[in-house]
Structure 1
Amino acid sequence: MRVVVAEDLFLLREGLVRLLKARGFEIAAATDSAPGLLDALLEHRPELAVVDIWLPPTHTDDGLRAALAARSRLPGLPILLLSQYVEPLYAEELLADQSGGVGYLLKDRVFSDDQFVDAIRTVAGGGTVMDPQVVTKLLGRQHRSTPLSRLSDRERQVLELMAEGRSNSAIAQRLFVSEKAVSKHSTSIFTKLELSPSEDDNRRVLAVLAYLMSTP
């Protein structure tokens, strides 16, 4: 899998590059600025972009803007954002096209290389991965009149764990239920959110996006 890395801090950028290479990824480019990121994404067309939100030249949301600009020209380009802070607006902008292949992780809450690599593979495969704190912030902005209000408390728990990128097996372990029960809850979620029958992976992504984009 070819990856572009954008991080302005030298040690962190080199650390990401070394970690990814050690886990079998090909680094198409590693850059320290938003203009460099946009150029690298359009030139190399990687399978994934790992992007720090705050990049030069302004150190505000330049990384996000460059990634979104590239995604507008390369539809479906998987983007995994890294940040030190939870900012719901950034997550909402990333999720706006509702096509999946997105992630938002907090740098100080990535506790192992396995966790990070799993997130990368999920996003590259078209899935959605959000740090639990990001999910909680977005939940606080939901409107009660949305279709999500139809979900039971258990169904909302299942959907929240889906949004964190967890598999049915992992959700079952977390909630101390069987995988069959998780599958049943998932089917109910898809029905209540009016997601037409299709591949479960696709409906899973659409359900997560509906969940995360349900804001006032």
Structure 2
Amino acid sequence: MLANHLRQHLTRRGFEVTLCSGLDSDINLQAWKTFDLILMDILLPGRNGLQLLNELRRGFTVPVILMSALGAEQDRIIGFSQGADDYLPKPFSLGEMDVRIDAVLRRVAYERKALALGKNEPTSQRKNVRQEIRLGEVMVSFTAVEYRLMELLLAHPGEVLSKAFLYQRVLHRAFTQQDRVLDMHVSHVRRKLAAIGFSAQVETVWGKGYVLRAVTP
């Protein structure tokens, strides 16, 4: 029922949707590489979505958004460590799903554009490719790491995101207590938000992580 509901909604948005259910060990993942995006439930009939995602990531880069009633942070971290691009905990609204889908597709488009530009630049300059986000009426330029951090914070306003979670999603590595690299990037983002007078700021929640909260007048 959920799959059919999502298909109807996404079709109305202009997507061409293919439903897959009852996956078994003989599934041909080669056909999946042509998709622009995969919405994958973790608890699949006959297969575990995380195992399937792991197999998919061995040879393909198609973006994947996981869907699951297992919405605890540790479950999300496991999903991201397996290569998920985002995680939709059930129940979720169609509006939230649309925002997550658009954000992932936008990021993939930016990354492909940056990769294409980087191929035409000297190697020493490729790491300096920057990306922009419109915040209010202003376009703000971010490094690739800052961009991933801002996308996560904007997708989860008011939600405390732990360092373990952010390290997996933003820096693509595990968190250790001695590692302060994320703190440095958060500091850079804070200065950029303050410089444009943005209506929200990144706050530190001691012992937990970071949260994007509206600035109190």
Question: TM-score w.r.t. structure 2 length?
Answer: 0.51
* Aligned partners of 1:33 and 1:57 also within 8 Å: yes
Among all aligned residue pairs of Structure 1 and Structure 2, give the percentage whose two residues are the same amino acid.
18
Matched positions, count: 147
2: distance between equivalents of 1:53 and 1:94? 9
2: distance between equivalents of 1:26 and 1:139? 32
Q: Give the residue type in structure 2 aligned to 1:135.
A: L
- 1:146 and 2:174 aligned: no
1: distance between equivalents of 2:160 and 2:30? 28
Output aligned runs, 1:127-138, within 5 Å: 132=156, 135-136=161-162, 138=164
1: distance between equivalents of 2:53 and 2:26? 7
- 1:22 and 2:55 aligned: no
- Residue 126 of structure 2 corresponds to which residue in structure 1? none
2: distance between equivalents of 1:145 and 1:155? 17
- 1:83 and 2:68 aligned: yes
Shift, 1:103, TM fit: 0.3
- 1:69 and 2:59 aligned: no
Structure possessing the higher radius of gyration over alpha carbons: 2
Shift, 1:43, TM fit: 1.1
- Residue 107 of structure 1 corresponds to which residue in structure 2? 90
Q: 1:82 to 1:23 in 2, by over 3 A?
A: same
2: distance between equivalents of 1:181 and 1:86? 33
**Residues 58-98 of structure 1, C-alpha deviations (whole Å, 9 max, x = no match):** 6xxx0121122112111x21000011122445433443477
Shift, 1:120, TM fit: 0.7
Q: 1:134 to 1:57 in 2, by over 3 A?
A: farther
* Aligned partners of 1:50 and 1:79 also within 8 Å: yes
Three-state SS of the structure 2 residue aligned to 1:30 is coil
Whose RCO is larger (CA < 8 A, sep 6+)? 1
Structure 1: runs of 5 or more not aligned? 1-10, 159-167, 187-210, 212-216
The structure whose residues are more often strand, as a share, is 2
Q: 1:95 to 1:85 in 2, by over 3 A?
A: closer
Three-state SS of the structure 2 residue aligned to 1:80 is strand
Three-state SS of the structure 2 residue aligned to 1:73 is coil
Q: What RMSD over aligned residues (CA atoms) do the two structures have, in Å?
A: 4.1
Q: Give the residue type in structure 1 aligned to 2:180.
A: P
